[in-house]
Amino acid sequence: MTTRQQDTRDTARLNVQGMDCGGCERKVEAALEGLPQVEQASASSMNGTVSVTAHADQALDHDTLKHTLSKLGYPVVDASPAAASTLRWWSTAKGRLVVVSGVLLMVAWLLTWRLPDVGAWPFILATLIGWVPIGQAAWRSLRMGNPLTIEMLMSIAALGALTIGAAAEAAMVVFLFAVGELLEGVAAGQARRRIAALGNLTPATARLLEGEAIRDIAADTLTPGQRVLVRPGDRVPCDGRIVAGTSHLDESPINGESVPRQRATGEDIWAGTVNLDAALEVEVTRGAADNTIARIIHLVEEAQAAKAPVARFIDRFARWYMPLVVGVAVLVAVVPPWLTGLAWSDSVYRALALLLIACPCALVISTPAAIAAGLSTAARRGLLIKGGAVLEQLGKLKRVAVDKTGTLTAGAPSVTDVEAWAESREAEVVRLAAALEQDSSHPVARAIVQHAKQLGLSLGRASDGQVQAGQGVSGRFEGRTLTLTSPRHWQGNETQSARIAALEAEGKTVVLLLAEGTALGVLALRDEPREDTPAAIEALHRLGVSVVMLSGDNARTVAAMGEKLGIEAEGELMPEAKAQRVRDWQAQGFGPVGKVGDGINDAPALAAADVGIAMGGGTDVALETADAALLRNRVMGIAELIALSRATLNNVKTNVALALGFKALFLVSTMLGITGMWVAVMADTGATVLVTLNAMRLLGYRFRSPAVTQGR
């Protein structure tokens, strides 16, 4: 994982129109990085955004940035690019160019067929009229110091074809190029609309409770602490906590889970979910800019903008590939007439066709289109992936370390045994333990507090509470210092140790209650594996991924659970020990190692792993530290992440092979004079459409059964 450090440099993120392909990205980045104030620029055609970072101790001049982008033909807009992508294709500038070019081409064919004496003039006019916007784009890039653009190659090819008398083919080239540009825009617009659809999950209005009164307000104005009424059938307008009511909620818009889940008073719910049964009174816990949907959108947009290593390689390849082919085209135009006596018109014609083949549209779009489709599919299934690099790395995992409580298990243990020592009573042991755990969200803490409530005990709250990661909690209550800890951090007598060992041998987690260093008693809890855990482990094994349980729980409990699930298991590990195990495996050549967890004590291991995966119900620390998150809280999600990554990488490889294969085929056929200019540009456009459609297949990806998934 990459460690992120705080950077105080001035940054900006701009929405732009018209940026639909890898060539557009390179033009924008080159132009902005040529400004003295800009250190780095990163453009994302999939998001329609440009992220700019200034040099240290310099501020960005937003007017200069906007002016530069406008000169290139990519105006900065206030609205999200997804809004513009909702326009019909014929309403866009690229759509109008296709219509005009197509009509002019048809008119030219009809005129030359009906009036042969007019000669090539109809095609010349069709070419020049359709070429104007292409030539303008080429000129803008040339003025910004970027001569080798796709528009420049098309301009040279079209005007060169007119020069040697191939006017009909020149008109066809201009039309097919316009079609290719339009198709790229449609594909990019599809990706943006899918992200915009996430934002539409949140309702526009919310029913705010003000005492006994209820009034409708804009959902994006809600602030933490306010209360809203969510009626049956309504979408939840905010992230919040239920303060009154019980109802089933459809959470599929957020985590992809098809079965509605019952939520009751005190439970957290997400914005965008659908209330099915009864009215709920909900207290807002996060504002609109920070709710679950907003965070998902932000993560997906960041992920799509962050290029995977394979995408960065393709970009570097395209940078030297175009100049190389241009050089070859010059040789094809000049050398054959000298060596073989080939007519100059024929050699120039072949050279111009080579220039068209040099356009790397299909090659450049092959990777980001697949990565964007994979990330969008993952988000729709409740799998958050923080970047193309993470998506690529997931498919390479060979070993995954998983936490026990809250990950492999349901994370909802119940108290099975309570024993009082030192003349204490069992109810007193439960009451004091619950006082320490009142403010904790740990599954063990919740189980103890719930058990105390079931016994009808009056609950207090300890003061000066301290959490000792991997050990326990302590605090002051009723004049005493209380500590709830793992028995391994305490040395008792032989009878007490034997009793603890017996409980742990039954696969139970044992916690010890101390008062001023004296043991008052123990509580034993047991947490069963999640329903999908055995099937998920089997799926991971079939994917060739080994699973190891790393837990801070006692060794006997962990061993019993590991034996039950048929996996390696290590217990009594402190947070730093879990991280060290991950580093040891990496050093031993196990390949990329993944770590899955849900708590604060998992954060060091999540950071040490090549890919850290957080369970969606885990702490914010785990979610922020991890590279990916499972909003569904299903262990099978780990296998789904890996399988989806491999499917995406296979899609990328197929796309690259198609793009390069088409180009190699037509490079040879053009140099031999078999194919001409219009075939070359049609092949390039066809390859662009083909790789885009292939990438879009990932939007319909479905995780298959373990037996089928193997080897993906």
* Active-site annotation, residues: 403
d(CA 548, CA 582): 10
Q: Are 205 and 171 in contact (CB under 8 A)?
A: no
Q: Which residues contact 229 (CB under 8 A, 6 or more apart)?
A: 207, 209, 214, 279, 280, 281, 282
Tell which residue, 568, 576, 262, 608, has the closest CA to residue 408: 568
Q: Are 191 and 373 in contact (CB under 8 A)?
A: yes
Q: Are strands 11-16 and 76-77 parallel, antiparallel or unpaired?
A: antiparallel
How far does Cα 490 stand from its chain's mean position? 44
Residue 436, Cβ density class (10 Å: 0-12 exposed, 13-18 middle, ≥19 buried): buried
What's the first-to-final CA gap in the chain, in angstroms? 24
Tell which residue, 622, 632, 628, 624, has the closest CA to residue 610: 628
Tokens of 41: 């620029």
d(CA 281, CA 240): 10
Cα angle 695, 650, 180; round to 5: 30
d(CA 137, CA 89): 20
Question: Which neighbouring-strand residues pair with 11?
Answer: 53
Q: Are strands 628-630 and 383-385 parallel, antiparallel or unpaired?
A: antiparallel
d(CA 686, CA 691): 9
d(CA 340, CA 349): 16
How many C-beta neighbours within 10 Å does residue 493 have? 9
Instruction: Classify residue 406 by its DSSP letter.
Output: I
